[in-house]
Amino acid sequence: MKNYHSYDEAYNRSINDPDGFWAQATEAVSWVKKWGSVVSSPKPQFYRWFEGAKMNTCYNAIDRHVESGRKDQLAIIYDSPVTGIVKKITYGELLDNVSLVAGMLAKAGVKKGERVIIYMPMIPETLYAMLACARIGAVHSVVFGGFAPNELAIRIDDAKPKVILSATCGIEPKGAIPYKPLLDKAIELSKHKPEKCFIFQRPQVKAELTPDRDFDWEEALKDAKPAPCVTVAATDPLYILYTSGTTGIPKGVVRDNGGHAVALLWSMKNIYNIEPGDVYWAASDVGWVVGHSYIVYAPLLYGATTIMYEGKPVGTPDPGAFWRVINEHKVKVLFTAPTAFRAIKKEDPSGSFIKKYDISCLKYLFLAGERLDPDTYYWAENFLKIPVIDHWWQTETGWPIAANCMGIEHLPVKAGSPTKPVPGYNVQVLDENGQELPDGSEGTIAIKLPLPPCCLTTLWEKDDAYVSSYLETFAGYYSTGDGGFKDKDGYIYIMGRVDDIINVAGHRLSTGGMEEVVAKHQDVAECAVIGVDDQLKGQVPVGFAVLKAGVSKNPVDIQKEIVSMIREQIGALACLKDVTIVGRLPKTRSGKILRATMRKIADGKEYSVPSTIEDPAVLGEIQDALKKVGYPKK
Q: Could you list the residues that contact ligand COA (CB under 6 A)?
A: 145-146, 170, 172, 177, 284, 288, 290, 312-314, 336-337, 339-340, 343, 369, 505-506, 536, 572-573, 575
Shortest distance (Å) from residue 413 CB to ligand COA: 20
Q: Which stretch binds ligand AMP (CB under 6 A): 6-14, 345-353, 387-395, 433-441?
A: 387-395
β-bridge mates for residue 482, sequence order:
497
Contacts of 361 (CB under 8 A, 6+ apart): 279, 326, 327, 330, 331, 332
Q: Which does 125 bind (CB under 5 to 8 A by kind): ligand COA, ligand AMP, none?
A: none
Q: Report the amino acid identity of residue 624.
A: D
Q: Which does 214 bind (CB under 5 to 8 A by kind): ligand COA, ligand AMP, none?
A: none
Smallest distance, Å, CB 615 to ligand AMP? 32
Q: How far is the CB of 502 from ligand COA (least distance, A)?
A: 13
Report the Cα 98 to chain-centroid distance in Å: 23
Query: Residue 123 Cβ, how far from ligand COA at the closest point, in Å?
Result: 12
Supply the minimum distance, in Å, between the C-beta of residue 312 and ligand COA: 5
**Which of 305, 419, 503, 580 lies at the binding interface for ligand AMP (CB under 6 A)?**
503
Under the binding rule (CB under 6 A), the answer on residue 340 touching ligand AMP is no
Out of ligand AMP, ligand COA, none, which partner does residue 497 contact, by CB within 5 to 8 A per kind? ligand AMP
Q: Which is nearer to ligand AMP, 130 or 422 (CB)?
A: 422
What is the SS3 string spanning 241-252? EEECCCCCCCEE
Q: Which residues pair with 308 in a beta bridge?
A: 78
Q: Decide whether 136 or 575 has the Cβ nearer to ligand COA.
A: 575
Provide, rounded to whole angstroms, the least separation between the CB of residue 172 and ligand COA.
4
Task: Give strand pairing partners of 364.
Answer: 333
Beta strand 163-167 pairing with 115-119: parallel
Nearer to ligand COA, 183 or 234 (CB): 183
503 binds, among ligand COA, ligand AMP, none (CB under 5 to 8 A by kind): ligand AMP
- Which region, judged by CB under 6 A, interacts with ligand AMP, from 55-63, 222-230, 384-392, 554-562? 384-392
Q: Which amino acid is at 94?
A: L
Segments in 589-630 forming alpha helices (H): 595-602, 617-628
Examine residue 289 and tell whether it contacts ligand AMP (CB under 6 A).
Answer: yes
The nearest distance, CB 220 to ligand AMP, in angstroms, is 33
Q: Is 510 exposed, middle or buried (0-12, 13-18, 19+ CB in 10 A)?
A: buried
CB of 376 to ligand COA, least distance (A): 12
Cβ of residue 288: shortest distance to ligand AMP, in angstroms?
Answer: 6
From ligand COA, ligand AMP, none, which one binds at residue 513 (CB under 5 to 8 Å depending on kind)? Answer: none
Q: Of ligand COA, ligand AMP, none, which one sits near residue 576, judging by CB under 5 to 8 A according to partner kind?
A: none
Contacting residues for 43 by C-beta, under 8 A, at least 6 apart: none
Q: Which does 508 bind (CB under 5 to 8 A by kind): ligand AMP, ligand COA, none?
A: ligand AMP
Which of positions 508-537 make contact with ligand AMP (CB under 6 A)? 508
Which listed option, ligand COA, ligand AMP, none, makes contact with residue 545 (CB within 5 to 8 Å by class)? none
Number of Cβ within 10 Å of residue 374's Cβ equals 12
Show the DSSP H helices in 423-468 as ranges.
463-466
Listing from the earlier edge strand, what are the strands of the sheet with 85-90?
85-90, 74-80, 305-309, 279-282, 333-336, 364-367, 388-390
Please list every residue from 390 through 449 that binds ligand AMP, using CB under 6 A.
390-395, 418
User: Residue 292 or residue 312: which is nearer to ligand AMP going by CB?
Assistant: 292
Q: Quick check: 284 binds ligand AMP (CB under 6 A)?
A: no
Q: In this complex, which beta carbon is closest to ligand AMP, that of residue 312 or of residue 508?
A: 508
Rg (CA), the chain: 24
Residues 183-212 that bind ligand AMP (CB under 6 A): none
| Three-state secondary structure call for residue 70 | helix
Q: What is the DSSP string of 405-428?
A: -TTT--PPP-TT---EEPTT--EE
Rounded distance, CA 439 to CA 447, Å? 16
Q: What is the DSSP string of 513-564?
A: HHHHHHTTSTTEEEEEEEEEEETTTEEEEEEEEEEPTT--S-HHHHHHHHHH
Question: Which of residues 62 and 388 has its CB atom nearest to ligand AMP in the complex?
Answer: 388
- Number of other CB atoms surrounding residue 251 within 10 Å: 25
Q: Which does 314 bind (CB under 5 to 8 A by kind): ligand AMP, ligand COA, none?
A: ligand COA
* Binding window for ligand AMP (CB under 6 A); candidates: 39-47, 52-60, 160-168, 477-485: 477-485
Q: Which stretch binds ligand AMP (CB under 6 A): 50-58, 154-162, 211-219, 369-377?
A: 369-377
Nearest-angstrom CA–CA distance, 179 and 144: 11
Q: Establish how many alpha carbons lie within 13 A of residue 579's alpha carbon, considering only the half-sphere containing its beta carbon.
A: 28
How far apart CA 397 and CA 299 sit, in angstroms, is 17
Consecutive H or E run containing 571: none
* Residue 11 interacting entry, from ligand COA, ligand AMP, none, C-beta within 5 to 8 Å by type: none
Contact letters (x/-) for ligand AMP, 219-258, by CB under 6 A?
Answer: ------------------------x---------------
CB of 98 to ligand AMP, least distance (A): 26
Contact stretch for ligand AMP (CB under 6 A) within 22-30, 100-108, 339-347, 366-374: 366-374
CA angle 138, 480, 543 (to 5 degrees): 95
Phi first, then psi: what are they for 21, rounded to 5°?
-60, -50
Element (H, E) at 54: strand 54-55
Which CB sits closer to ligand COA, 288 or 493? 288
Question: 429 has which bridge partners?
Answer: 445
Tell me which residues touch ligand AMP (CB under 6 A): 243, 289, 368-372, 390-395, 418, 480-482, 494, 497, 503, 508
